[in-house]
């Protein structure tokens, strides 16, 4: 009897491919294992076995596989089901999903580069002969291709050898290895408590009268604290007093001064004992109870809790329950919120059981996490991860938490699969027979709509933990301020006043500006021309730090121009403003304070965010200027004021979600203010203080925002009332893409009528020299999604049969953002 397998190839082809296997192989192979297979004329691919059967393919003659790469399945049955769902729902191929799901190191291809792992010392005696030959060769040559390795060991079957070398960490596959980042701990000093009273200080100074140098140090410290009202660094004290560090040390030894680190309340996981989780307050207790109750009747529950209401501690209790029943937990977060803050907090409760997974991990780290999750290792019980962690090979999930569920970064934009991690997580939970908890202070309209329709349960926490007041939000009318000449640059007198007060009290400030760079656009004062990107249909952005003009779409950059390219006039001016410009202005307004900046430009690299966050936490900066990165669930104790430089550029963004997003962003940034002590203050500068969204933000009125926005979504037939599929066509020849989009629009309209919009030019209609056209398909709730998609696929197929259109790229984005 002949045996065959259907396999998934990591390429965008519609069908599964069938290969022939031997009787012996058939006894060994299981779905979910990898096999190396020949494809086309000379390619070799890693494929995943989908099923075994005895039916030869009709159209072609089945080739034989090269070899089996695994001893046991590395992809579970549940995953294979999820992949099918994703391909089907998001209109892509299973190969697209496979490529996104598997760590790169699992997909060995003919082109894969192998190099020596320089971070690990390998003894020759640890290597088998074949392995040694390869390892030895890597001493002479920095990298090898699979074919080179085939030549070296003179065998066809090299994958098992490579796999063993990977397991021994002797080699790496096409990957940089990053250094591990440890937050730098800054030393602070203070007087021991008994010396801080008036009498205590007096007594101390007398006691030290015969040690004048030590006395001077104590005096300096006292003056510094009185002046800055902030924690004093050892380095500042050394500088102010002129004393040597040995004098300071002797004061510490005498128990007059005390050294400390600001991070002390964050428990570093030390591999041994862990902390008990916190006792919940009555609101949290009630929320926990309600969540469990709604889970009895619902697959999904939304926890709508205001910022700093202590949602995380509620999650912790649910995680404890799941762990007690030997289950795994997936805790999904937007990439940016995955900071040391949260990781340390969870590690303090769950110790070694916590595994973190995000996109900046190296191939090695990814494989390690994959294997730990697959084997249900005690090290991978709680998986804290960004979007792509929904792809991990969970054995037995007992709960999925999607925190900050409203975040649009959960939606993958490019490449396919263009999935939404929140929605996919819900399907994944379903496949595991378990529940999903969504959490947010500002839920997406999608989720709240599902609540209103009875699909999701709803649980609310309306108070901040410890009854800390919600921040006091004040709207500042900058049109009026401008008229009365009360603006300095982009700062109103009101904002400067509040900043001065906050700084004098020794508190920190966050300034939010929704754009990075110095100033988005450079414009000629004479002819109005602004420099454009040669590859994209956008103006270039000025970055003063490098004195460059940059394109935010394709990365193109040139030196800042000295005169206008159109008319030659040297009067180039900057219009609008970004984070860099705000930073500059703050430096001029508050020269005695430290300013930091957090945006895409300052947070590159694996630990980019952490470095800035840690520095701000440790009060190395007084003012932090940033983009929306600042909104993501950060918990800074000492921030008393949040300033929003300009709310209008958020509100006026040309997108049907702009108002919803403005509400979410502004509420989230505001939520960073006053999380512990006194009530925080938020100042929102705007030209339009009567805008409904701003009124709703300042009164924390989510319901009003929801109602008003939903009316618009009903009226204009947008999600969540209608589903949206966006088709993007791309080509470097404008006429071709134009004709193709007209053809496609007409064909779609014949089936879907008025529910088809376009073709239209997107706001940026040329990117990297490719012209774009968009077509939107709106799907009413009653209409079957499956049927609709079938019709679309059929139209696409006829589209591809038009010779002229074959080179046009067609991109489907289901539930587009």
- Kindly list the residues in this chain that would bind Zn ion in the complex (CB under 5 A): 533, 535-536, 551, 553-554, 556
| Residue 759: CB minimum distance to Zn ion, A | 22
Secondary structure of 780-807 as H, E, C letters: ECCCCHHHHHHHHHHHHHHHHCCHHHCC
CB-wise, 360 or 557, nearer to Zn ion?
Answer: 557
Binder among 280, 426, 540, 551 for ligand ADP (CB under 6 A):
280
Bridge partners, residue 772, by sequence: 730
CB-count burial class (<10 Å; 0-12, 13-18, 19+) for 433: exposed
Binder among 281, 377, 526, 649 for ligand ADP (CB under 6 A):
281
Q: How large is the greatest C-alpha to C-alpha distance in the chain, in angstroms?
A: 101
| Residue 598: CB minimum distance to ligand ADP, A | 19
Binder among 635, 691, 710, 776 for ligand ADP (CB under 6 A):
635
CB-count burial class (<10 Å; 0-12, 13-18, 19+) for 357: buried
308 touching ligand ADP, by CB under 6 A: yes
| Residue 715: CB minimum distance to ligand ADP, A | 33
Q: Hey, what are 158's tokens?
A: 């090299």
Q: Which residue, among 619, 621, 579, 577, has the nearest Cα to 599 in the 3D structure? A: 579
| Residue 442: CB minimum distance to ligand ADP, A | 11
Binder among 32, 95, 310, 758 for ligand ADP (CB under 6 A):
310
CB-wise, 50 or 675, nearer to ligand ADP?
Answer: 675
Residue range at the interface with ligand ADP (CB under 6 A); choices 141-149, 308-316, 389-397, 442-450: 308-316
CB-wise, 266 or 606, nearer to ligand ADP?
Answer: 266
Find the angle CA(117)-CA(119)-CA(124) to the nearest 5 degrees. Answer: 65
Q: Is the peptide bond before 803 cis (omega within 30 degrees of 0)?
A: no
Residue range at the interface with ligand ADP (CB under 6 A); choices 300-308, 346-354, 509-517, 726-734: 300-308
284 touching ligand ADP, by CB under 6 A: yes
| Residue 679: CB minimum distance to ligand ADP, A | 15
Give residue for tokens 């005696």: 125
DSSP H or E segment with residue 682: strand 681-686
Residue 164 interacting entry, from ligand ADP, Zn ion, none, C-beta within 5 to 8 Å by type = none
Q: Hey, what are 229's tokens?
A: 């009202």
C-alpha to C-alpha distance for 761 and 757, rounded to whole angstroms: 11
288 touching ligand ADP, by CB under 6 A: no
CB-wise, 251 or 533, nearer to Zn ion?
Answer: 533
| Residue 385: CB minimum distance to ligand ADP, A | 17
Residue 635 interacting entry, from Zn ion, ligand ADP, none, C-beta within 5 to 8 Å by type = ligand ADP
C-alpha to C-alpha distance for 151 and 350, rounded to whole angstroms: 48
702 touching ligand ADP, by CB under 6 A: no
Residue 551 interacting entry, from Zn ion, ligand ADP, none, C-beta within 5 to 8 Å by type = Zn ion
628 touching ligand ADP, by CB under 6 A: no
CB-count burial class (<10 Å; 0-12, 13-18, 19+) for 737: buried
CB-wise, 460 or 648, nearer to ligand ADP?
Answer: 460
Binder among 313, 368, 585, 660 for ligand ADP (CB under 6 A):
313
Convert 691-702 to b/e letters by CB count within 10 Å (16 or more is b). bbbbebbbebeb
Which residues 19-48 are close enough to bind ligand ADP by CB under 6 A? none
CB-count burial class (<10 Å; 0-12, 13-18, 19+) for 591: exposed
| Residue 549: CB minimum distance to Zn ion, A | 11
305 touching ligand ADP, by CB under 6 A: yes
User: Binding string to ligand ADP for residues 583 to 622, with x set by CB under 6 A, is what?
Assistant: ----------------------------------------
Give residue for tokens 């939903």: 710
| Those residues with Cβ within 8 angstroms of residue 486's Cβ, 6 or more apart along the chain or in another chain | 492, 493
Give the alpha-carbon dihedral of 439, 440, 446, 448, to 10 degrees: 90
Bridge partners, residue 557, by sequence: 550
Nearest residue relative to ligand ADP (C-beta): 310
Residue 304 interacting entry, from Zn ion, ligand ADP, none, C-beta within 5 to 8 Å by type = none
Give contact residues for ligand ADP (rule: CB under 6 A).
278-281, 284, 305, 307-313, 465, 635
């Amino acid at each position: 009897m002949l045996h065959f397998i259907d396999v998934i190839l990591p390429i965008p082809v519609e069908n599964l491919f069938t290969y022939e296997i031997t009787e012996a192989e058939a006894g060994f192979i299981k779905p979910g294992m990898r096999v190396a297979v020949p494809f086309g004329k000379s390619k070799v691919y890693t494929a995943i076995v989908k099923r075994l059967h005895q039916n030869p393919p009709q159209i072609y003659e089945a080739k034989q596989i090269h070899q089996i790469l695994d001893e046991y399945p590395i992809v579970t049955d549940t995953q294979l089901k999820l992949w099918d769902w994703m391909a089907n729902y998001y209109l892509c191929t299973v190969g697209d999903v496979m490529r996104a799901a598997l760590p790169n190191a699992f997909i060995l291809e003919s082109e894969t580069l192998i190099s020596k792992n320089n971070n690990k010392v390998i003894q020759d005696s640890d290597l088998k002969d074949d392995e040694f030959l390869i390892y030895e060769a890597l001493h002479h040559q920095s990298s090898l291709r699979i074919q080179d390795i085939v030549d070296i060991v003179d065998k066809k079957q090299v994958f098992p050898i490579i796999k063993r070398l990977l397991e021994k960490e002797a080699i790496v596959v096409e990957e940089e290895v990053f250094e591990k980042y440890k937050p730098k701990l800054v030393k602070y000093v203070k007087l021991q408590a008994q010396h801080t009273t008036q009498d205590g200080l007096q007594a101390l100074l007398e006691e030290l009268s015969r040690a004048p140098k030590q006395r001077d140090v104590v005096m300096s410290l006292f003056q510094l604290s009185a002046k800055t009202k902030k924690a004093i660094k050892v380095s500042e004290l050394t500088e102010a007093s002129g004393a040597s560090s040995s004098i300071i040390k002797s004061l510490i030894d005498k128990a007059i001064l005390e050294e400390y680190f600001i991070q002390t309340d964050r428990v570093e996981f030390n591999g041994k004992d862990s902390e008990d989780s916190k006792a919940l307050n009555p609101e949290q207790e009630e929320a926990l109870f309600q969540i469990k109750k709604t889970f009895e009747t619902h697959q999904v529950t939304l926890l709508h809790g205001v910022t700093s209401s202590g949602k995380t501690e509620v999650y912790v209790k649910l995680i404890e329950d799941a762990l007690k029943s030997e289950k795994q937990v997936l805790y999904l977060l937007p990439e940016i919120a995955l900071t040391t803050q949260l990781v340390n907090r969870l590690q303090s409760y769950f110790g070694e059981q916590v595994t973190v997974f995000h996109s900046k991990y190296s191939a090695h780290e990814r494989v390690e996490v994959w294997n730990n999750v697959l084997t249900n290792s005690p090290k991978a019980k709680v998986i804290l991860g960004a979007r792509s962690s929904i792809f991990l090979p969970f054995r037995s999930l007992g709960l999925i938490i999607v925190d900050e569920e409203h975040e649009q970064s959960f939606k993958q934009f490019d490449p396919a699969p263009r999935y939404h991690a929140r929605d996919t997580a819900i399907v994944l939970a379903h496949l595991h027979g378990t529940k999903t908890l969504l959490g947010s202070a500002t839920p997406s309209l999608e989720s709240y709509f599902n609540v209103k329709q009875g699909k999701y349960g709803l649980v609310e926490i309306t108070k901040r933990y410890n009854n800390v007041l919600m921040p006091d939000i004040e709207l500042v009318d900058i049109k009026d301020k401008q008229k009365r000449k009360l603006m300095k640059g982009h700062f109103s007198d009101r904002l400067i006043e509040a900043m001065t007060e906050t700084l004098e009290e020794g508190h920190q400030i966050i300034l939010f500006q929704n754009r990075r760079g110095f100033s988005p656009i450079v414009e000629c004062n004479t002819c109005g021309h602004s420099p454009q990107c040669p590859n994209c249909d956008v103006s270039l952005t000025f970055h003063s730090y490098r004195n460059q003009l940059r394109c935010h779409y394709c990365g193109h950059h040139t030196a800042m121009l000295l005169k206008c390219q159109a008319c030659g006039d040297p009067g180039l001016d900057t219009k609008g403003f970004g984070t860099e410009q705000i930073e500059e202005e703050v430096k001029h307004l508050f020269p005695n304070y430290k300013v930091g900046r957090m945006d895409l430009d300052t947070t590159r690299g694996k630990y980019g965010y952490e470095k800035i966050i840690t520095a701000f936490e440790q009060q190395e900066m007084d003012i932090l200027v940033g983009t929306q990165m600042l909104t993501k669930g950060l918990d800074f104790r000492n921030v008393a004021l949040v300033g929003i430089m300009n709310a209008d550029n958020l509100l006026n963004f040309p997108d049907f979600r702009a108002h919803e997003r403005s509400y979410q962003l502004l509420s989230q940034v505001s939520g960073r203010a006053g999380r512990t002590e006194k009530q925080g203050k938020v100042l929102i500068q705007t030209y339009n203080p009567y805008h409904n969204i701003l009124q709703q933000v300042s009164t924390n009125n989510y319901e009003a925002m929801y109602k008003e926005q939903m009316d618009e979504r009903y009226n204009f037939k947008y999600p969540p009332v209608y589903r949206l599929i966006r088709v993007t066509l791309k080509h470097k020849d404008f006429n071709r893409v134009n004709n193709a989009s007209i053809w496609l629009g007409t064909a779609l309209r014949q089936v879907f009528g008025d529910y088809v919009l376009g073709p239209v030019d997107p706001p940026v209609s040329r990117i990297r020299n490719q012209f774009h056209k968009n077509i939107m398909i709106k799907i009413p709730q009653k209409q079957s999604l499956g049927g609709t998609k079938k019709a679309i696929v059929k139209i696409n197929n006829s589209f591809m049969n038009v010779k002229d259109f074959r080179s046009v790229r067609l991109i489907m984005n289901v539930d587009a953002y």
